[in-house]
Amino acid sequence: MVDHLRSDLSVKTLARRCGMSPRHFARVLTTEKGITPARLVEQIRVDAARALLEGTKEGLKEVAARTGFGSADSMRRSFLRVLGVAAGEYARRFRAQSA
């Protein structure tokens, strides 16, 4: 998944790649990882976006596109859910500390 952030990472697609039904795949992944497939994909994308925001000067739209978020707003909502801070605020805080 990490190498294909811009691809379709829906349960249906991931299940097909694993040779499972979507329902079985979701149950197995949730049992094994303790997190739903959607939340796992979101976490992986947020982690990748964090790395880009910390290590580059790319704008939010570019980072969102590179990490598979549909838009900067979608990325902002995911950051709020996962980290409790919006992506833009995260970038400002980190870049302020490293300056």
Among 97, 95, 5, residue whose Cα is nearest residue 49: 5
Per-residue pLDDT of 10-21, as tens digits, reads 999 999 999 999
Q: How far is CA 92 from the centre of its chain?
A: 19
Per-residue pLDDT of 32-84, as tens digits, reads 999 999 999 999 999 999 999 999 999 999 999 999 999 999 999 999 999 99
Domain boundaries, the chain: 8-98
Q: Is the pTM of this model over 0.75?
A: yes
Among 12, 86, 21, 17, residue whose Cα is nearest residue 49: 86
Q: Are 72 and 87 a contacting pair, CB within 8 Å?
A: yes
CATH architecture of 8-98: Orthogonal Bundle (1.10)
Q: Is 37 exposed, middle or buried (0-12, 13-18, 19+ CB in 10 A)?
A: buried
